[in-house]
Structure 1
């Protein structure tokens, strides 16, 4: 299992229907197989995620956030890790809104 505790990630790619921006930093905390994170950015006033991590380091997460329009948005995400040649982690994310238009998207986050 990958230990995500105290690792920081920055988005490098996000689908147009997402609200995450490239300036956001996700600072993960982990206890056992539970990962949490609080985040915000230019499009998101306040956001939280909670995930279970499996033995391969895959994160099965749920998130909720309040966007800059004052809307509560929720979704699910599966993040699959890739350990890069420099030892840092890249997360390949497949997500779907469970509110709003229920659309799907892809994101790519890289460890700082």
Structure 2
């Protein structure tokens, strides 16, 4: 059985383009009965939410965010959950904007208490 994401915090390992998530963004994940959701903020993102499902090591969700410039954006993401050698979790993400053009990949990793 894969480890639950519930109560875990994740952060990107690299900055994306301006107006997107970056290394200062923090995602607070929740998971229950195959449902996943998270709140996120930091960097150019004032407030963001994601909601979707989990089947094994695969996440499928949609996200929406409010940016510091007052604009909003939304998109779709498919992620794979992997365990790092130190026991933390990593999400390898393939995302695509739905509110504008653009797509890409990113990696977020679990943040431990002392690294927050």
| TM-score under structure 2 length normalisation | 0.87
Greater shift in the superposed pair: 57-66 or 1-10: 1-10
Query: RMSD across aligned C-alpha pairs, in angstroms?
Result: 1.5
Q: Is the 8 A contact 2:25 2:45 kept in 1?
A: no
Residue-by-residue CA offset, 1:45-80 (whole Å, 9 max, x unaligned):
11100120002x211010001111211100000111
3-state SS of paired residue (2:108):
strand
Q: Runs (4+) of structure 1 moved beyond 6 Å? A: none
Structure with more relative contact order (C-alpha pairs < 8 Å, separation 6 or more): 1
Alignment of 1:21-40 (within 5 A): 21-40=22-41
Query: Gaps (5+ residues) in structure 1?
Result: none
Aligned length: 110
Query: Gaps (5+ residues) in structure 2?
Result: 112-116
Which residue of 2 is the match for residue 41 of structure 1? 42
CA distance in 2, matches of 1:106, 1:13: 11
